[in-house]
């Protein structure tokens, strides 16, 4: 678990460093996430092992990750508190914000659900056509 | 600042979150009322009430909570593990998954920004709400890069997640969608972590596709959105 946490911190550090020095507008933690994903995929491809545990660098990674993800909601509670202490928010800005949550969210949800449902059915049909 | 106050402010989050979790598990109201009383809605309310009634300022609280913000970055890196474990689905279902991802992630941003702009939102508000469908730790990273107000981004993201996770399954029922892979992917794409928790209640397959969609949407939006905003500002 502690080793796993160190591995995560290592990738976080590398990601932050790349984000700072390259001036790329991508958040450092996302660069770290993509680097870790690439490393795990590469390792799986090269050594054909699925679980990240065989090498010291990867021990405890699953435990550390599930621990952090399990408590993710706790971790961003302080950021949400900021919603109640916004200095420049006026009433006329709350209307568009609420509208976005109440209108844009169901709109995107329904559109993506219908689209993907259609695409998956096409995909299933293609596979069964190929087999027959 | 006084160490004792710092310690108390840090503990305040832990206490408020525990109380919110306890209320959530104890609550035996209807399913919809229950999921709207998500700990992520109740805990910040409790913290804010405590800060206001004890006459403590938000800046001290923000400073004392710095460890949470740091670990949020670590947790973002940790999202690579579920993404890695579910990655093989992309190979099996490349076309439907990637097409829905590109369309859905762009549509989420475009619909939000268009609606807000039509109703008179300022540039600052637009920046803060544009990453609304992205998992909170990534959305906060994006907000930092594009200059959106942190509290507004977190609030909009969480409310989108809670709203999407509550009503998503009802919409699926109306639309006659029965495929758990579609339900999961759509929940993860639109309602990120809150939706993924809901998806794991439906079935393990649903949860797996939801965490895959959450990671992919977060990564895609984080890469594309700051570039697009940079170009638009020129």
- Angle in degrees, CA B82, A73, B110, rounded to 5: 75
Choose, out of B69, B77, B99, the residue to mutate when testing the contact with A (most A CBs < 10 Å): B77
Q: Which residue of A has its CA nearest to B97?
A: A116
Question: Cβ neighbours of residue A76 under 8 Å, at least 6 residues apart?
Answer: B40, B68, B72, B136, B137, B140, B154, B158
Per-residue pLDDT averaged across B151-160, rounded?
Answer: 88
Chains A–B, number of C-beta pairs less than 8 Å apart: 305
Is the pLDDT at A60 greater than 70? The verdict is yes
Pick from B218, B210, B203: which is nearest to B188 by CA?
A: B210
Contact between residue A83 and residue A94 where contact means Cβ atoms under 8 Å apart:
no
Pick from B179, B108, B36: which is nearest to A107 by CA?
A: B108
Q: Do the chains contact at A30 and B129, CB–CB below 8 Å?
A: no
What rounded mean pLDDT belongs to chain B? 87
What single DSSP character describes residue A58? G
Confidence of residue B192 (pLDDT cuts 50, 70, 90): confident
B151, B171, B183 ranked by CB distance to A83: nearest:
B151
Question: Cβ neighbours of residue A5 under 8 Å, at least 6 residues apart?
Answer: A60, A64, B74
Confidence of residue A51 (pLDDT cuts 50, 70, 90): low
Q: Pick B189 or B148 by higher pLDDT.
A: B189
C-alpha–C-alpha distance, residues A51 and A121, integer Å: 32
C-alpha–C-alpha distance, residues A106 and B180, integer Å: 19
Task: Return the percentage of chain B with pLDDT > 70, whole number.
Answer: 95
Structure-block tokens of residue B45: 């309310």
Axis crossing angle, helix A91-99 with helix B94-118, rounded to the nearest 10:
150
C-alpha–C-alpha distance, residues B90 and B208, integer Å: 12
Q: What pLDDT, on the 0 to 100 scale, is given for residue B1?
A: 59
The secondary element (H helix, E strand) that includes residue B85 is helix B80-86
Contact between residue B135 and residue B158 where contact means Cβ atoms under 8 Å apart:
no
Q: Do the chains contact at A88 and B16, CB–CB below 8 Å?
A: no
- Exposure pattern of B206-217 as b/e (b: 16+ CB <10 Å)? bbbbbbbbbbbb
For tokens 């209640």, name the residue: B201
Q: What pLDDT, on the 0 to 100 scale, is given for residue A54?
A: 57
pLDDT tens for residues B59-72? 899 999 999 989 98
Contact between residue A54 and residue A47 where contact means Cβ atoms under 8 Å apart:
yes
Confidence of residue A50 (pLDDT cuts 50, 70, 90): low
Per-residue pLDDT averaged across B154-166, rounded?
Answer: 88
Choose, out of B76, B92, B209, B218, the residue to mutate when testing the contact with A (most A CBs < 10 Å): B76
C-alpha–C-alpha distance, residues B213 and B122, integer Å: 30
What single DSSP character describes residue B147? T
């Amino acid at each position: 678990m502690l080793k796993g946490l160190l591995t995560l911190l290592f990738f976080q550090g590398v990601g932050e460093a790349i984000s700072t020095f390259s001036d790329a507008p991508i958040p450092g933690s996302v660069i770290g996430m993509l680097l870790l994903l690439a490393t795990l995929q590469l390792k799986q491809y090269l050594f054909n092992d699925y679980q990240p545990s065989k090498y010291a660098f990867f021990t405890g990674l699953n435990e550390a990750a599930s621990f952090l993800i399990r408590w993710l909601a706790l971790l961003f509670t302080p950021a949400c508190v900021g919603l109640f202490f916004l200095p420049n928010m006026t009433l006329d800005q709350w209307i568009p914000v609420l509208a976005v949550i109440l209108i844009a969210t169901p709109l995107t949800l329904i559109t993506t659900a219908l689209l993907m449902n259609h695409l998956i059915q096409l995909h299933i049909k293609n596979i069964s056509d190929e087999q027959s | 600042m006084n160490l004792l106050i710092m310690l108390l402010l840090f503990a305040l989050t832990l206490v408020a979150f525990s109380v919110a979790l306890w209320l959530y598990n104890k609550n035996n109201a209807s399913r919809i009322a229950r999921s709207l009383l998500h700990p992520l809605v109740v805990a910040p309310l409790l913290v804010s009430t405590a800060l206001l009634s004890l006459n403590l300022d938000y800046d001290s609280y923000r400073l004392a909570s710095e460890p949470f913000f740091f670990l949020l970055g670590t947790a973002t890196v940790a999202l690579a593990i579920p993404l890695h474990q579910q990655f093989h689905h992309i190979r099996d279902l490349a076309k439907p998954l990637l097409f829905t991802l590109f369309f859905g992630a762009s549509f989420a941003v475009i619909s939000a920004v268009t609606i807000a702009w039509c109703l008179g939102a300022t540039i600052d508000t637009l920046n803060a709400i544009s990453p609304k469908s992205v998992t909170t730790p990534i959305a906060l990273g994006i907000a930092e890069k594009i200059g959106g107000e942190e509290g507004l981004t977190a609030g909009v993201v969480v409310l989108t997640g809670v709203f999407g996770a509550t009503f998503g399954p009802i919409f699926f029922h109306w639309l006659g969608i029965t495929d758990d892979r579609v339900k999961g992917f759509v929940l993860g794409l639109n309602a990120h972590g809150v939706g993924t928790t809901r998806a794991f209640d439906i079935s393990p397959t649903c949860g797996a596709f939801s965490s895959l969609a959450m990671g992919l949407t977060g990564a895609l939006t984080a890469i594309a959105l700051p570039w697009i905003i940079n170009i638009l500002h020129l």
